[in-house]
Amino acid sequence: MPPTPSRHDTSARPPGPAAGPGAGRSRPHPDRPAPPPYARRTPVSPHARRLAAVALLVAVPLAGCGTPPELREPAPTTVPTRSVPPATPSVPPSPPPPTGLPDTGAVTPTPDSGLVAVPCPDGPSGARIVDLVRGRGGVLPNGVRVRVRTGPLCAGEWHYTVLDVTGHETLQVVTQGRPGAPRLVTAGTDVCTAEVRAAGPPGIRTRVCDAGSLDVPGA
């Protein structure tokens, strides 16, 4: 009887077909999708690796430093504002108490100023002026009748008087001095003499030189 071939003896098996390029790969199951093909890796050269390492070393310090100080924008400075205290309202001065008389702003002339001839407060009297022009050394006789028409008006130490004389023209009289002892300067119808113009106060000169009339207010 011929020997029975062993199950591990391959020599007794007939040669099969030659293995093709796809030998050893499992065939896909008809119900499963085929796996994707393997991606091929591109080999990296040592020179490229060194360049990448150098770039990484340079980038790390720059990332840590940030923006240089000279390129940074300065922080806005806040100027402290000074608080101004509120202004204290000023109180207007209280007006003086009313006196009952309106203030016209005009200055009341006085005999001492001499600017205006006003009625004499302390004399001389009209009778004293009449005595100066009567009798001895006067310009009128003793028996003539005389009446005071205007005055006496005083301006400083000067006096002006107008007299009505019966039977004669109106007489103007200018005297000067203290009220109790006046001195006759001039008397007549025109008393604007050189002495009056040179030494008389404005109030007297206005009466005898500028008025031009014997009807002087204040009679």
CA angle 99, 103, 106 (to 5 degrees): 135
Amino acid identity of 94?
Answer: S
pLDDT of residue 140: 84
The rounded distance, in Å, linking the Cα atoms of 158 and 152 is 10
pLDDT of residue 43: 61
Listed residue (187, 186, 203) closest to 195, CA to CA: 186
Listed residue (159, 189, 164) closest to 174, CA to CA: 159
Distances 126 to 8, 152, 201 between C-alpha atoms, Å: 190, 6, 20
CB-CB neighbours of 130 under 10 Å: 19
Q: Is the peptide bond before 124 cis (omega within 30 degrees of 0)?
A: yes
Both structure tokens of 161: 């008087």
Q: For 106-131, how does the pLDDT look when each residue is reduced to its tens digit (9 = 90+)?
A: 555 555 667 899 999 888 999 999 98
The rounded distance, in Å, linking the Cα atoms of 54 and 82 is 58
Q: Where are the domains of the chain?
A: 118-210
Residue stretches of the chain with pLDDT short of 50: 1, 8-12, 16-24, 213-219
CA atoms within 13 A on the CB side of 205: 11
The rounded distance, in Å, linking the Cα atoms of 118 and 204 is 10
pLDDT of residue 22: 47
pLDDT of residue 204: 92
Q: How do beta strands 171-178 and 181-188 pair? A: antiparallel
pLDDT of residue 218: 39
Q: For 186-215, how does the pLDDT look when each residue is reduced to its tens digit (9 = 90+)?
A: 989 999 999 999 999 999 999 898 865 444
pLDDT of residue 134: 84
pLDDT of residue 139: 82
- Domain 118-210: state its class: alpha beta
Q: What is the mean pLDDT of the chain?
A: 71
Per the CB < 8 A criterion, the answer to whether 137 and 145 are in contact is: no
